[in-house]
C-alpha cells in the first residue's frame, strides 16, 4: 500500500508539471495574433476493485468486495479552444481578421494556407504580408490561397479586402481568400508559426462568406488566452505539484524509518 501511494503522488507531480508547461506556453503566446489556447483535462487512472480474501466455511477461500481504489491521475492529451478572440485594429492593409457569425458554424473556421512545398495547412492568424515573390502570405512566407487553391497575387501592399474575403488589386484583379469550416476541430494540431495541420479523418469544406463569417481588413484577431485566469491556473498547478512533492517526501521518510527499524530487529 505504501508503494502504491508513492506512485500515486509521483503521477500527480508529472500531471501537474505537464499542465504547468501547457499553461506557460499559453501565457507566452498571449500576444500572438490568432493564437488558440491549449486546454488539458486531468483524468484518473482506472480504479482498482479491492477484495478481502477470507476462508469459506465450506472450505477454500472467498473474495468479498470492499471498495475501489484510485491509483493516480494523468493529463489527457490537450485540445484547442477555438473560441473567437477579440479584434484589434492595426490599419495595415494586409491584415485580415476572421470574425465568425455567432451560431452559424458547428465547428471552426480557418484560412487555407499553402506551404512552400505545396502542402495544405490552416491558420487563424490573419497578420498577413506580401511575400518576396509578390503573393499574399503569412509572416514566415507561406501562401494564402483562394477558393480554387491558387496563390493570391498582389501588386503591392495597397490592396482592398472586402467583408467576403475578396482581395482587389490596384489593377482591378480579384481573388477571394479561401476560408474553410472544420467540423471536427479536434482533428487540427499545431505545427508552430501559427499553422494548423488536419489529421486523418478530419474534413474541411468551403465556408459561406457573410453568412458564416466576415473578413475585417486592417484588424487582427487577438489570442483567446485570458492572462489573468491563466496565471491563476499556473499558480494552482504549481501549488498542487508542491503538495504532491511533500506527500512523496513523507512516504520517503516513512520508508527510510521502516527500513532502519526493521534492520534493528
Classify residue 87 by burial, with Cβ atoms within 10 Å: 0-12, 13-18, 19+.
middle
Would you place residue 262 in the very low, low, confident or very high pLDDT band (cuts 50, 70, 90)?
low
Instruction: For residue 64, report the phi and psi dihedrals to the nearest 5 degrees.
Output: -110, 120
Stretch 210-234: mean pLDDT: 97
**What's the rounded Cα separation, in Å, for the pair 85 and 96?**
13
In tens, the pLDDT along 73-106 reads 878 777 899 999 999 999 999 999 999 998 888 8
Whether 263 shows a pLDDT value over 70: the answer reads no
C-alpha cell at 62: 472467498
To the nearest whole percent, how much of the chain has pLDDT over 90? 66
Percent helix / strand / coil, the chain, rounded to 5: 25, 35, 40
Whether 60 shows a pLDDT value over 70: the answer reads no
pTM: 0.82
**What's the rounded Cα separation, in Å, for the pair 220 and 111?**
13
Whether 247 shows a pLDDT value over 70: the answer reads yes
Stretch 57-66: mean pLDDT: 63
The pLDDT mean for the chain works out to: 89
Name the residue with higher pLDDT: 183 or 49: 183
Element (H, E) at 143: strand 143-144
Stretch 214-235: mean pLDDT: 97
Q: What is the three-class DSSP state of 175?
A: strand
In tens, the pLDDT along 3-31 reads 777 788 888 899 999 999 999 999 999 99
* pLDDT score recorded for residue 214: 98
60: number of Cβ within 10 Å? 7
* pLDDT score recorded for residue 227: 95
Domain locations in the chain as residue ranges: 2-30+42-75+231-264, 82-221
In tens, the pLDDT along 141-151 reads 999 999 999 99
* pLDDT score recorded for residue 167: 98
Residues 230-256 as b or e (16 or more Cβ within 10 Å = b)? beebbeebeebbeebeebbeebeeeee
Amino acid at each position: 500500500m505504501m508503494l502504491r501511494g508513492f506512485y500515486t503522488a509521483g503521477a500527480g507531480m508529472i500531471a501537474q508539471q505537464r499542465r504547468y508547461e501547457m499553461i506557460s506556453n499559453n501565457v507566452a503566446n498571449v500576444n500572438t495574433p490568432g493564437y488558440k489556447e491549449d486546454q488539458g483535462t486531468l483524468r484518473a487512472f482506472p480504479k482498482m476493485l479491492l477484495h478481502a480474501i477470507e476462508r469459506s466455511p465450506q472450505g477454500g477461500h472467498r473474495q468479498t468486495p470492499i471498495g475501489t481504489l484510485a491509483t493516480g491521475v494523468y493529463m489527457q492529451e490537450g485540445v484547442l479552444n477555438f473560441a473567437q478572440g477579440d479584434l484589434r485594429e492595426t490599419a495595415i492593409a494586409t491584415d485580415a481578421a476572421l470574425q465568425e457569425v455567432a451560431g452559424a458554424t458547428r465547428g471552426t473556421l480557418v484560412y487555407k494556407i499553402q506551404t512552400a512545398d505545396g502542402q495544405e495547412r490552416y491558420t487563424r492568424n490573419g497578420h498577413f504580408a506580401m511575400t518576396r515573390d509578390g503573393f499574399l502570405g503569412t509572416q514566415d512566407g507561406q501562401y494564402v490561397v483562394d477558393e480554387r487553391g491558387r496563390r493570391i497575387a498582389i501588386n503591392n501592399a495597397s490592396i482592398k479586402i472586402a467583408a467576403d474575403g475578396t482581395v482587389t488589386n490596384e489593377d482591378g484583379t480579384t481573388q477571394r481568400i479561401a476560408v474553410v469550416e472544420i467540423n471536427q476541430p479536434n482533428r487540427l494540431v499545431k505545427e508552430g508559426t501559427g499553422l494548423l495541420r488536419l489529421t486523418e479523418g478530419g474534413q474541411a469544406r468551403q465556408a459561406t462568406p457573410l453568412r458564416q463569417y466576415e473578413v475585417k481588413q486592417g484588424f487582427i484577431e487577438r489570442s483567446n488566452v485570458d492572462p489573468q485566469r491563466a496565471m491563476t491556473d499556473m499558480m494552482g498547478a504549481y501549488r498542487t505539484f508542491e503538495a504532491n512533492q511533500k506527500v512523496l517526501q513523507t512516504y520517503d521518510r516513512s520508508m527510510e524509518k521502516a527500513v532502519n527499524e526493521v534492520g534493528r530487529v
